[in-house]
Amino acid sequence: MGDDGVKKEAMDMMDEFEVLPRLVVVDLDYTLWPFYCECLSKHDMPSLYPYAKGILYALKDKGVDVAVASRSPTPDIANTFLEKLGIKSIFVAQEIFSSWTHKTDHFQKLKQRTGVPYSEMLFFDDEDRNIQAVSKMGVTSILVDDDGVDLGALRQGLSKFVQNKSSLEKNKQRWRNFSQKSTSSQN
Ligand SMILES: [Mg+2]
């Protein structure tokens, strides 16, 4: 399909959704690219999964910020690869460090750095334990499969984001109604 074709499809898809996340966060190894960068050297030439670049550019053009959350123990190699691939400047923030937590500390840092609340974020990763931990923080989180971040994962992510947002709104409304009732019964 090529990067431009993917980008166009991704942008058309985003037009179908009334609300979009403010920040999309992606893992690197086996989400953006099909390898562990700790197993390669800085001198290697990396390549991305086939849909990754088109999707990143589509998000950017739609005004959705993009950031990285990676537990790679070799941030220097990861950074070199992002530069070589010409996508480093797309990201508004990058948290690349190894950690015992399943990326909860990466997300705390991303929230501080960007000011975007967890409920306005969408996250893609290939490891279920990260998905579990980060979704408990209130971030809509999607497990990617063998193609890394692709159009199917994007659609799933945008749909789930809308669902989570509307149930959050409903809960807020319920709480507002409840507290109004209890205030008026006190008067
Ligand atoms: Mg990974």
Which residues lie across from 124 on neighbouring strands?
26, 142
Q: Does the active-site annotation cover 27?
A: yes
Å from CA of 78 to ligand 1 middle: 12
Question: Residue 135: helix, strand or coil by DSSP?
Answer: helix
pTM of the entire predicted model = 0.93
Catalytic: which of 29, 65, 125, 126?
29
Å from CA of 71 to ligand 1 middle: 8
Q: Are 166 and 17 in contact (CB under 8 A)?
A: no
pLDDT in tens, 48-106: 999 999 999 999 999 999 999 999 999 999 999 999 999 999 999 999 999 989 999 99
Distance of CA 63 to the CA centre of its chain: 14
Q: Is pLDDT of 7 > 80?
A: yes
Q: Does the active-site annotation cover 146?
A: no
CA distances from 54 to 23, 32, 38, 39, 131 (A): 17, 11, 25, 26, 23
**Average pLDDT for residues 18-33, to the nearest whole number?**
97
The DSSP call for residue 146 is: T
Å from CA of 27 to ligand 1 middle: 6
Least confident of 41-45, 126-130, 173-177: 173-177
pLDDT in tens, 57-73: 999 999 999 999 999 99
pLDDT band at 133 (very low <50, low <70, confident <90, very high): very high
